Amino acid sequence: MYQQGTVYVIGDSKTSSNNPIMQQYKAFFVGLVIDRKTDKIIDAECSSTIDLTTRFVHSLFVEKSILEVDRLTEEIEQRYFGSSQKALIVAFKNAHIKYLQIKNK
């Protein structure tokens, strides 16, 4: 399904304890498939209790560069108003750090 030059990175964070995601998963996760040659996000999914959330998060990340942290963070702040907005930003930044570690090996 994914080309040889792709990697899978997962970022995690916490959100408020009364958030259904925390009650179900105990953490918030965002998984990203990234093309190492272009740094483009090929696929994205997150832990959510509503499928629409996962699809919306997918649309925020796919075809964007993992290296454009500020731009993607701003887009999340301007477009994603779910209760886990801050958790999504933290999880994305966590995935970004992990990707840089992989890329620099």
Show the DSSP H helices in 3-68 as ranges: 20-25, 51-61
CA–CA dist 46, 55 (Å, integer): 9
**Which pTM value belongs to this model?**
0.88
Percent of the chain with pLDDT over 70: 89
Domains with residue ranges and CATH for the chain? 6-103 (3.90.1010.10)
- Please, are residues 49 and 82 in contact by the beta-carbon 8 Å criterion? no
Percent of the chain with pLDDT over 90: 71
Nearest alpha-carbon partner for 33 in 67, 66, 71, 80 = 66
The pLDDT value given to residue 44: 97
Higher confidence at residue 83 or residue 14? 83
Higher confidence at residue 40 or residue 12? 40
Whether 23 shows a pLDDT value over 70: the answer reads no
